[in-house]
Amino acid sequence: MAPAIVWFRRNLRLDDNVPLDAALRGHESVVPVFVLDDHYVTEDVSPPRLRFLVESLRELESELAAKGSRRAGARAL
pTM of the model: 0.79
Determine the pLDDT at residue 67. Answer: 87
Residue 75: inside a domain: no
Residue 74: inside a domain: no
CATH number reported for the structural domain that contains residue 37 in this entry: 3.40.50.620
Q: What is the largest CA-CA distance in the chain?
A: 43
What percent of the chain is helix, strand and coil (3-state, nearest 5)?
45, 10, 45
DSSP designation for 30: E
Q: 21-72: per-residue pLDDT in tens? A: 999 999 999 999 999 888 777 777 888 988 999 999 999 999 999 988 876 5
Residue 29: inside a domain: yes
Determine the pLDDT at residue 72. Answer: 54
Residue 52: inside a domain: yes
Q: Which residues contact 22 (CB under 8 A, 6 or more apart)?
A: none
Between the CA of residue 19 and those of 31, 40, 57, 61, 68, what are the distances in Å?
Answer: 12, 24, 17, 17, 19
Determine the pLDDT at residue 21. Answer: 96
